[in-house]
Amino acid sequence: MIKSSIGKLKIDFNPKELALKSGCELLDFTASDALLLKDIPFYHKDPFDRMIIAQAVSNNYYIMSNDLKFNHYDCRVI
């Protein structure tokens, strides 16, 4: 939504509504997830990608990405 607000991405639908209609589970970013941010190395500088990595590590989730920087972390990448 940040990209949309600065004009870099056009989103003319409600992504939350679409995700729920598609059967996706919405995940909250928790305090436990956030605490990991201080301990994970800075291979990746993007704060939002770091949040995804921390959440995946904290909850033992898989990450689906072609970003090779994710492979430097102790997370499962598809």
pLDDT per residue as tens digits for the range 21-51 = 999 999 999 999 999 999 999 998 999 999 9
Tokens, residue 72: 């430097």
35 found inside a domain: yes
2 found inside a domain: no
3 found inside a domain: no
59 found inside a domain: yes
* Rounded-to-10 torsion of CA 47, 61, 23, 16: -10
46 found inside a domain: yes
Q: How far apart are CA 71 and CA 32, in angstroms?
A: 22
* Count of domains observed in the chain: 1
Note down the domain range covering 35. Answer: 24-77
Question: What pLDDT does residue 73 have?
Answer: 94
Cβ–Cβ under 8 Å, residues 9 and 3 = yes
pLDDT at 2 over 90: no
14 found inside a domain: no
15 found inside a domain: no
Helix, strand, coil percent content, the chain, rounded in steps of 5: 45, 5, 45
pLDDT at 12 over 90: yes
40 found inside a domain: yes
pLDDT band at 53 (very low <50, low <70, confident <90, very high): very high
